[in-house]
Amino acid sequence: MGFAFEFFGADFDFVYVGSNGVISLSGPINARFTSILTDNAPGGLIAGFMDDLDPADGGTIRHESIGEAPNREFVVEFDQVPHYASLNTVSFQIVLKEAGGLEIICVQCETDDGDPAGQGIKAPDSTYNLAARDMQDQVNVATAYTSGIYSDGRGDACDSCPNVIDDGADTDSDGVGDACDVCPAVADADQLDTDSDGEGDACDNDDDNDGAADDIDNCPLVVNPNRDDVDNDGLGDACDDDIDGDGILNDADNCRFVDNADQADDDGNGIGDACQGQNCDLNYDFDIDVPAAMVSDGLYPFSQQPGTGRGGEGSALQSSNQGVDASSSIVSLSLDAVVGGQISFWVKVSSESGWDELYVYLNNRTTNIFTGEQDWVEVTLDLAEGANVIVWEYYKDGSAADGLDSAWIDDVSFTSACVAD
């Protein structure tokens, strides 16, 4: 076939075409079976019009793979193939789809004077059958079956819902049928549905599903429930590529939240002079001091320790509860972030493995746990829009210790975020 066709959870890349209106995924098939529903019909059967046909007496059977990946189709066509010892002919297609599913399209599917033909499918392991028309129970509903189950009688080229069985109705005349239209009463040929809630943007009053109706949302297509707008230009920070309105795009702006068109940076540290004291988009390396924003809690603070920084140079923050059973050394940082905000930092641990551990929390949720001998490793966390609290806790259990019995933190940096007031 040229592609893998999924049938009852298994993939098949070839089929066997039988002369009596069937194809098989299990092996060659030539016989005409009395019923799809009985055990003597093989598994992996797809019956387009299973009857005693005689292609040697006329008509054609052909197959072709059409389309491009990942939407290719393998089409088996019976065209004016006669019944055995009869002038009556049948014409139909079986279409297997790379994207999933199949169609049986009947053009002329009338039975001969004998038993009615069979139409349906049978699982490869024969555990499941579906037969809307079957010789066993003499049901003769080929037209109703093929239009109601497998096909609606319209080829994909002229079907406004090619992957849905429907009646062809298109209330808004946008070329997309009502059965598959995300806005059936509002013309929207592009079918955009930003929040994937099944209701298209053209008829959805909250396209990004953030709880703010589009008519009051300053970023109607980007989630931003707080609707922050630093430069008050009517475009929310979450979708504004120049948050501070200084003419410098965010990616190139050394002060994203402060108007500084001149981009002055006297000390060359990558942070514009205009926001040097604004506590936004900063890096804490702890070589000089511990910023006030890093708040230690309890009896055992994280403190600056020279010579403990990454690479053995500079300083890092180190826990101070060495040898104190059932104790915690805690430090935290509170930030206000816009959409896309992140924090990254490096940690190191030398402790009793599995018992004395460094916990990292973001907004009261545990994100990381480090224990035993853990060399420097970087952690990056996505910040929520609005208030965020990051907590580092080195916790010791009720007994024993190992290693240096410490945890270290270094090079804390954050972007699209500011220290909370």
Q: What is the pLDDT of residues 290-343, one digit of tens each?
A: 999 999 987 899 999 999 999 888 999 999 999 999 999 999 999 988 777 899
Half-sphere exposure of 9 (CA within 13 A, CB side): 5
pLDDT of residue 116: 60
Cα–Cα dist 124/71, whole Å: 23
Q: Is the peptide bond before 70 cis (omega within 30 degrees of 0)?
A: yes
Of the pLDDT bands very low, low, confident and very high (cuts 50, 70, 90), residue 132 is low
pLDDT of residue 33: 56
Of the pLDDT bands very low, low, confident and very high (cuts 50, 70, 90), residue 276 is low
Neighbours of 220 (CB within 10 A): 21
pLDDT of residue 150: 42
pLDDT digits (tens, 9 = 90+) for 364-413: 899 999 999 999 999 999 998 888 999 999 999 888 889 999 999 999 99
* Structure token pair of residue 346: 């490096």
pLDDT of residue 388: 92
Which residues of the chain does CATH 2.60.120.200 include? Answer: 284-419
The CATH number given to 284-419 is 2.60.120.200
pTM of the model: 0.43
Alpha-carbon distances, residue 73 vs 64, 106, 147, 163 (angstroms): 8, 17, 19, 13
Q: What is the mean pLDDT of residues 76-104?
A: 88
pLDDT digits (tens, 9 = 90+) for 185-207: 999 899 988 877 788 888 888 87
Q: Classify each residue of 182-202 as buried b or exposed e, where b means 16 or more C-beta atoms within 10 Å of its C-beta.
A: bbbeeebeeeebbeeeebbbb
Q: Which of 392, 389, 417, 396 is nearest to 316 (CA)?
A: 392
